[in-house]
Structure 1
């Protein structure tokens, strides 16, 4: 695209509905790239989707990126933003009160917004349905880093590599919650709280996380329609090591349809743990066993893997109605 005159590119994008929705810049030197993107965007009208994905490129000029956003914010509905700028750009200050339905932010500034007052998240993003925050800097006015999201339209939220003290979600339409690699410095702790109206939340996906089980369970116990709960590479705090699987099975009957279990470091207890879960899941239809076996294994580890496999074969014979699949990497 960079070989064509800018006027031609802009004219094409303006006339083709599908092509004008998204502008993805090719990788080249930073200065030339900034000029190319700027000229292309300014030659384009009616832009509905903007992707600025520059993860491997040096810092862009903040003023240039702000110019892109100011020019397109009146029309675009989808913004995928992954670019480092000097200084950081506050997307909500620039794109607030617009038509954004999907917002994905990486390496940018994200201010904490209180649920009251004119600066609430719902006020800034009245139509937002999908929000992704990856490695974003949280602007704070005090020592405690708190993010509070209140939105009647928000359906899906993905948060990765962000350090917080407290994260509160109040979203009546929330359906999917994904948290990954979040923590506070070296202490991976987060207090989660979701408002009372969570009837639509069906998926909770937590990975690489340290949680306090009583507080986490208190949160998910409100989710009457929860059908998928994945705790991947999750560590529980030292004081609360017991996870009551019986209570989970009773409180969330829809979870028993599909069960996905796995290991990072295999041990003798894994097969017993799986069998205990299957016994409690009377309506189980599908069981997926996910494990890491690609690294070099000692003789002891190979024997342990063989024992687990034998136990799974016996389990399959006992529960013939359950579709068992293995995913090894």
Structure 2
């Protein structure tokens, strides 16, 4: 170890990440302390890594972090995540940011302070490429001053910000590609909760746990859109047809409008109420679709049925199909009408929430439609306190699947029960 170049030692210490481990390792000898001072580029303070953080007084913890940071000279990645820790004073936090901001490329910041620290003001106009901000407040964004010329990824979680400031913040990031908005406290200037965001460079966006009346997103380069646990009356994506992945999970939206879905390759929809004719019209031109998942989907019209013929014709390149079984008034939500086969489907995932005798017949019908199938995954929900009837149905289903799979010996079968 004594022959290792000091730069290599600095790289080793940087891979440790956790501040406690870095401090302990750097105490090995003078050379390691030198490597920590001059060549350490990554440092992480996380209250989950070391329970002792919770036992220290706030003042002592501030001093400990300050001493550790000030012993370095070129930090590029700094993570300070202090969940369930008392509020810090603003002064030491500002000192940490001012000391490191000229070299920082990545900042993960989850620290409650009194008063609030304006992160944008302290880190703007620098070389920051990744910003993960949580439990903070952003007000009065000035794009011309609080500019992030190199920022490519930004995550805001449990952050208080107005719709206007969020729009201005996105404008202040001319190279942003990845944006995550989780559980934001959004201040509105009028009675209607409306947000309009625009970015020509944005490629990936996740929106989680947000309630709005109207959300308009203009992103000409967007490739991935993920909506989760949101309540929206109106959502409109305006773009140039670059979207490849659309994921919707447990979202309530009255009007969903997505322009140009011709290049959509992955569609994952779960726990979602669909007005199928409108939804189908939106995705029917997605001839490049490779993965389709419709799980726990409820059709707005109780008599609505999606037949496999429609899926086979609209998505000829489909290779991975996931459908959950539902039986309403004797009608299956996904019918087996039509002769067209799913020639390219190699993986089939099928599941139920309430099992019935018809499920195994439905599985058999789907297998006949997939001549080149390689893997079948069965998902099921089984209650801890099963009734005699449930046990009977599950036993019958197991026997039926065993008999059925003798016809498809080349297909790998997997069961996943919850």
User: In the alignment, which of 70, 79, 99 is matched to residue 131 of structure 2?
Assistant: 79
Q: Deviations over 1:140-190 (max 9, x none)?
A: 5565545555544333232222234455555444333322222259x9334
Contact 1:91–1:110, Cα closer than 8 Å, also in 2: no
Relative contact order (C-alpha < 8 Å, sep 6+): which is higher? 1
1:242 shift after superposition: 1.7
Q: Structure 2 CA distance, aligned partners of 1:161 and 1:48?
A: 28
1:116 corresponds to: none
2:74 corresponds to: 15
Runs (5+) with no aligned partner, structure 2: 1-18, 20-60, 234-250, 319-344
Q: Structure 2 CA distance, aligned partners of 1:311 and 1:288?
A: 15
1:161 corresponds to: 209
1:247 shift after superposition: 0.9
CA-atom RMSD in angstroms: 3.6
Contact 1:152–1:173, Cα closer than 8 Å, also in 2: yes
Q: Structure 1 CA distance, aligned partners of 2:382 and 2:203?
A: 36
Counterpart mapping for 1:104-253 below 5 A: 104-109=155-160, 123-140=171-188, 145-184=193-232, 188-196=252-260, 198-199=262-263, 201-238=264-301, 241-253=304-316
Query: Secondary structure of the equivalent of 2:227?
Result: strand
Contact 2:90–2:115, Cα closer than 8 Å, also in 1: no
Counterpart mapping for 1:285-296 below 5 A: 285-293=374-382, 295-296=384-385
Contact 1:209–1:235, Cα closer than 8 Å, also in 2: yes
1:123 shift after superposition: 3.8
User: In the alignment, which of 41, 65, 85 is matched to residue 29 of structure 1?
Assistant: 85
Query: 2:107 aligned with 1:50, yes or no?
Result: yes
1:263 corresponds to: 352
Q: Structure 2 CA distance, aligned partners of 1:294 and 1:33?
A: 50
Query: 2:154 aligned with 1:89, yes or no?
Result: no
Q: Deviations over 1:108-128 (max 9, x none)?
A: 356557xxxxx6897454322
Q: Deviations over 1:235-281 (max 9, x none)?
A: 22135632233211221133223333333443444334434443334
Query: 2:64 aligned with 1:4, yes or no?
Result: yes
User: In the alignment, which of 152, 168, 177 is matched to residue 101 of structure 1?
Assistant: 152
Q: Structure 1 CA distance, aligned partners of 2:214 and 2:66?
A: 47
Query: Secondary structure of the equivalent of 1:15?
Result: coil
Change beyond 3 A, Cα 1:251–1:28? closer
Counterpart mapping for 1:292-311 below 5 A: 292-293=381-382, 295-311=384-400
Query: Which has more radius of gyration?
Result: 2
Change beyond 3 A, Cα 1:214–1:105? farther
Change beyond 3 A, Cα 1:111–1:227? farther
TM-score (normalizing by structure 2): 0.61
Change beyond 3 A, Cα 1:121–1:9? closer
Runs (5+) with no aligned partner, structure 1: 114-118
TM-score (normalizing by structure 1): 0.76
**More strand per residue:** 2
Q: Structure 2 CA distance, aligned partners of 1:198 and 1:279?
A: 29
